Structures are given as structure tokens and as C-alpha cells.
Structure 1
């Protein structure tokens, strides 16, 4: 059984997202601020302003960080806080932004986009490999989340947040996908599935926006654990710590009215708890 979530970084994010464990520190973002955070092993939190809404940061093989901004893929240098444009993604969709991502064992970056106003089904899923971005051919959505990838690198999990569904597809050797199959459907009364993450046992964790919890599903799609939080909007889980058994959870104040904010003074903070199972080490982007 997991431990009780506790606040480890009281940042009060409007839309905390994208937690990832990189070289002994937990990196995450506030999409709406917009900014990037780093929680060090000394408990200190560093913050960098971003020039546009930012969904995530990921390590790059050979050194450096990539950031998924509204304006595309950028290189981010924390030594001076600078961002440099790397790859355009959707130049013809200025209302979209990048939202969530994962790096596969082969160094491919898989990520999604979404309508920043959350109205149009203009969000797509992409793969960045060999220096180019490719649409991977999955259905469009208003809000995409994930992808997440199984420990063996063979299964891709993708979330359509507004539809309440997590789907799965086989990843072929050439990076193409097999047919998309249902994995989990979550009733809207239980919250909306947000960012998915896979642990070392191949189980899928998902934050529930508006659901006061995170859930863990086994590889067959059966719900095997629920972790309750003192805040409503849980956006994503990431594994970190020396043994990758500490689960970090980003949360959000977004969509909470004044009364809800008064009742949830911890909304938007970064939480951590003992996951009881290790996560999977983060891969670096090979461009």
C-alpha cells in the first residue's frame, strides 16, 4: 500500500504538470504561469520563467533539456534561463499548445498537443525521431494527455481527457503503431483522466482532474489502487528518489472558484508519497 501524499513544494501552481525525475531532481512546470520548476534533493525549489505556455521538460542525450512550449520544441538552458527554438510542430494551429510527453527506450520523444481554449478537437499525438516530427495517426482530441510507454517499450498508452478514456497500441520496430485498443474508461463523475505514467511492474497510474485522487491500473486494465489527496485536481504522477519509489504528484488550482480554493488551501502544490513500487528511469531524447 502507498503512503499518504504530503506537500513537498508549496508552489501554488495554476496548472502544475509534467513532473519528471532527472539526475537527482524533480522537474515540473506550471503551464499557465508559465514557468519551469526544479525541486532539488535539498528541498530547495528553483524557478525559471518561460516565454510561452510550457507543458514539460525532458533530458536530451549528451546533455541539456528540451521543453515543450506552445510555440514548439525548444532547448532550455537552466544556467541562464534561456530558450532556443528547436523544432516547429503545429505552425498552422496557433491556438494549440503542447501538453504532455514521454521518451521511449529508443530515445524517441512522444508527445501531444491540445486546443489551449479547450474547445476544438485539434489536439494530436506526435513522435519526434531522427530529427523530424511525425503525426502518429491517432484520433484527434480536445485535450490529449500522455503518452506513456510500457517498461519494455512495446505498448503506448494515450489519454483523451474529455472522453474519459485511456487507449493502448503496440509500438512496432519502426516506430509505427498497431491498432488503438481501449484500456480504461473512467466515468466523468470520478474525475477526468490526466497525465498517465507507467511503473516498473507495467501498471499505469493516472491523475484524476476533479477526482481528488490518482489511480493505478494493472496491465489488463483492472483498477488495483486509489491514492486519495486533499485537493481535487491531480494532474500527473512521476517516480523519483534514489530508488525511484517516491511518487511525486503535480496538482492545479485551475477551474476552482473562490469557495473551492478556500476549502483546498493546498491546491496547486507538489505532493509526494511512498509508491510502494519503483518507477521506470527516464530516457533521454536522441535527436
Structure 2
């Protein structure tokens, strides 16, 4: 059932640490059925979900544990350790995956062999975070300081030939990155700015013309990961906001998916028809026993389709 509400109120924490049925209200945005929990709390800091037919389904990361997670067709969860941090990943066109690890990139071959590329920096106080692939098959991953020092991060690009470049510097918490269906726009989150930015994009010039797509009030939560559907709608996970929001290509709030934990980190489309929204969550900052479902994987039926994931050409 879809319904509209006006005004604004925040969900209340229950004694058990979950969120009560009183939910935040967002003007005329449609509120979709609440996301369903489909795993136990299998991650401490779940992030970066990606659906790929090459993998036979969904992978995501337990970022600070350095593990890549996988969801089997029967609902079983797999785990593979890839380093101190597993930040983001995308499939490779030839099989395997490209992975953002603590201070650089790693390549997984189709047979599972993992090779870490040379580290991009020596500072142990800075790590990779979120990323994605552009329409030309290049992989981007952004960094942040563990203590979130302002401007300590950057957005890096790994080209198919193995070369790397700094695309943006002076970033604080580099987060979600995804392109519009036609590849002409790129949406990007630096969480500390409390906004989703949009760039113009072409293969020769890269990311240009940065401007604000939407701003998020701090009381609504922090913009984290994002994805883009086949209609060009931008879905943004709100960390500490307990929801995922869909914005139209014009930047208008359109739909809201409520998640029964506050630490909502990222989302992606998956399922055989790419019409299910998979949502990752985190236990970061919680005391043991607080908010028991945090760290679980959630799924929601949202009535639109996503696009096949863009793959790394290297």
C-alpha cells in the first residue's frame, strides 16, 4: 500500500533498540511498504551491495572486517576475507571483480585468485570507502580519514590498463557514486557536505560542472550510498535516518522506503527482473545489544527496475 503524509516527525527508538512504527514523514513523498529483513545481523558495517548475473546474485561488503559477502539463492550468506578493509567492488568484464581495499585496489580473477595492486598512499589513518564504475569501464573509489578529518580524502580512478588518477581531492567522506542511465550525468556523495552532487560526464573530459543535486538536512540523516534506476531516479541511503529516498531526475523527493534500523548505508537493484531494492545496514557506533537488526540485509519491492551494473573493463 502506498500512502501520503504531510508534516514531519521522527521515529522513536524502542526499549529493545529498534524503531517504533512512528516514522519520519516527508511532505508529499510516497511512503512505500517497509523493507523486509532477509538475513541475520551478519555484518558490523554492511556496505556496497552489487547485483551481477556473473556472480549469480548479490555481493556486498562487511567493510571494516575486510570481507566480501555473498547471498545464495537459498538465502545462505557467504564470506571471503580480502584485506584489512573491503570498501567497494564491481564485476570485471572478463570475470572476477575489482575491489577497493584499505589503501588501494585489488583484482580478483575468475578463478578467485586475488592480487593487491600497489598502495596509493602510506597514511594508515586514511582508508578507501565507496565507489563505482563509469560508462567507459573505469573503476572509481573514494577515501576518507578514519577520524573523518575534513578534506583528508580523495576520489581515485583505476583505468583498465592499471593506471590510476586522482579525480577529486579535498573530500571528507567520499561515498555513493553512480551514473544516469544515458551516462551523461554522475551523482556523487561527500557525506560531510550533506548533499548529493551531480556532474556532467563524458569519457574524454571525465567529471565536470559539479553542482548540487539535492541537499539533506542534518536532522534527516547523512547521505551515504546511492543507486540510479532505469527511469533516472536517484535512490539515496540516509545513515542514521532509517530510510532510503528516491529523488526524480529533477531533484524532487518522490518516494521513501522505511528501514527498521537507523544505520542505513547503501542500496542497489537486484533480483531476476532487477526490481528489488537491496539495502545494507551498519552496527557502527552501537553498543552491544542495541538495535538488534542493525547489520542485516534488507529488501524492498519498489515498483521500478534498476539497470545492469556497469562493469570494470580491466
TM-score, scaled relative to structure 2:
0.84
- Report the secondary structure of 1:121's partner residue: coil
RMSD of equivalent CA atoms: 1.8
Could you say which residue in structure 2 is the equivalent of 1:135?
166
Does 2:84 align with 1:52? Answer: yes
- Asked if the contact 2:88–2:132 (Cα under 8 Å) also holds between the matched residues in 1, the reply is no
TM-score, scaled relative to structure 1:
0.92
Q: Which moved more, 1:168-177 or 1:156-165?
A: 168-177
CA separation in 2, counterparts of 1:133 and 1:142?
A: 20
Q: Residues 64-85 of structure 1, C-alpha deviation per residue, up to 9 Å, x if partnerless? A: 11111003111235866x5311
Q: Any stretches of 5+ residues in structure 1 without a counterpart? A: none
Displacement of 1:188 after TM fit?
A: 0.6
Does 2:306 align with 1:279? Answer: yes
CA separation in 2, counterparts of 1:78 and 1:34?
A: 20
Does 2:186 align with 1:159? Answer: no
- Asked if the contact 1:101–1:112 (Cα under 8 Å) also holds between the matched residues in 2, the reply is yes
- Asked if the contact 1:48–1:78 (Cα under 8 Å) also holds between the matched residues in 2, the reply is no
- Report the secondary structure of 2:153's partner residue: coil
Rg: which structure is higher? 2
Q: Which moved more, 1:113-122 or 1:20-29?
A: 113-122
Could you say which residue in structure 1 is the equivalent of 2:228?
198
The one of 101, 106, 115 aligned to 1:84: 115
The one of 264, 272, 275 aligned to 1:242: 272
Q: Any stretches of 5+ residues in structure 2 without a counterpart? A: 3-31
- Asked if the contact 2:51–2:269 (Cα under 8 Å) also holds between the matched residues in 1, the reply is yes
The verdict on how the C-alpha distance between 1:108 and 1:60 changes in structure 2, with shifts beyond 3 A counting, is: same
Q: Would you say how many aligned residue pairs link Structure 1 and Structure 2?
A: 281
Q: Which consecutive segments of 4 or more residues in structure 1 shift more than 6 A?
A: none
CA separation in 2, counterparts of 1:120 and 1:135?
A: 17
The one of 173, 190, 207 aligned to 2:237: 207
The one of 86, 89, 112 aligned to 2:142: 112
Displacement of 1:257 after TM fit?
A: 3.0
Displacement of 1:173 after TM fit?
A: 3.5
